[in-house]
Amino acid sequence: QQPVQSPQAVILREGEDAVINCSSSKALYSVHWYRQKHGEAPVFLMILLKGGEQKGHDKISASFNEKKQQSSLYLTASQLSYSGTYFCGTDEGIGDYKLSFGAGTTVTVRA
Amino acid sequence: DAGVTQSPTHLIKTRGQHVTLRCSPISGHKSVSWYQQVLGQGPQFIFQYYEKEERGRGNFPDRFSARQFPNYSSELNVNALLLGDSALYLCASSLTGNQPQHFGDGTRLSIL
């Protein structure tokens, strides 16, 4: 089952912060975050396993609330290079492997 | 090191035809997954292969099939093409199943 992402789109000025949410109605084993720029392939950002750990990569970090089956991606002090569409992918970890992606959140960072 | 490579980059077919898409994973990666991405949507999972065995299948009709070869490269086959099959087909490789996916640039398939 596909996770639900919110918001659908966000516009930021350089230096502003944003939060992207990803929620599932199913119990999750892991959450993956990817960024896709127009005309390019999705690029892996980070993976979070159940256990509620928070990860960070430069000024982009994420958390995973196992009890709520929700993950959030935090963009801090946004840069122009952060523009793109962010996708969360969820894996229930039951039986066969299947990564389900949300519809994406388009982030536009303006100077 | 070379990333995930897919061929061809673009393909135009007509309804009812058959198509084969190819993918070479990153060296050392044993898992290959296929996704369909329609404009404006997230990638939709089609198949995952690990060690030449199918380990996951998405909600796609039997017209879609795939296989993985001993060198871990993979093919996605689609029979009896429909207009709705027009999409970007992405291949991703990873060390094992539940690991970060490294995507190729995709094959843009257009059905006329």
Inter-residue contact B74 to B66 (CB < 8 Å): yes
Across the interface, do A87 and B43 touch by the CB < 8 Å criterion?
Answer: yes
pLDDT at A104: 97
Cβ neighbours around A52 below 10 Å, total: 12
Task: Tell me the nearest-neighbour CA distance from A14 into chain B, angstroms.
Answer: 25
| CB contacts, 8 Å: B101 with chain A | 32, 34, 42, 44, 89, 99
Largest Cα separation within chain B, whole Å, is 38
Interfacial B residues in 65-104 facing A (CB < 8 Å) = 90, 97-104
**Please, are residues B68 and B32 in contact by the beta-carbon 8 Å criterion?**
yes
Contact A96, B57 (CB under 8 A): yes
Residues of chain A with pLDDT under 50: none
Percent of chain B with pLDDT over 90: 87
Chain A interface includes B6 (CB < 8 A): no
Q: Is residue B91 within 8 Å of residue B104, measured between CB atoms?
A: yes
Closest CA to A64 of A50, A81, A82: A50
End-to-end CA distance of chain B: 37
Residue among A87, A91, A104 minimizing CB distance to B98 = A91
User: What confidence tens digit (pLDDT) does each residue in A47-78 have?
Assistant: 898 776 666 667 899 999 888 899 999 999 99
Counting residues of chain A whose pLDDT is more than 90, the rounded percentage is 66
Map residue B83 onto helix, strand or coil.
Answer: helix
Residue A97's pLDDT is 73
C-beta of residue B93 within 8 angstroms of C-beta of residue B1: no
Query: Which pLDDT score is estimated for B38?
Result: 95
Cβ-defined contact of A89 to B101 (cutoff 8 Å) = yes
Hey, what are B62's tokens? 């039997």
What Rg do the C-alpha atoms of chain A give, in angstroms? Answer: 13
* Residue B2: per-residue pLDDT: 78
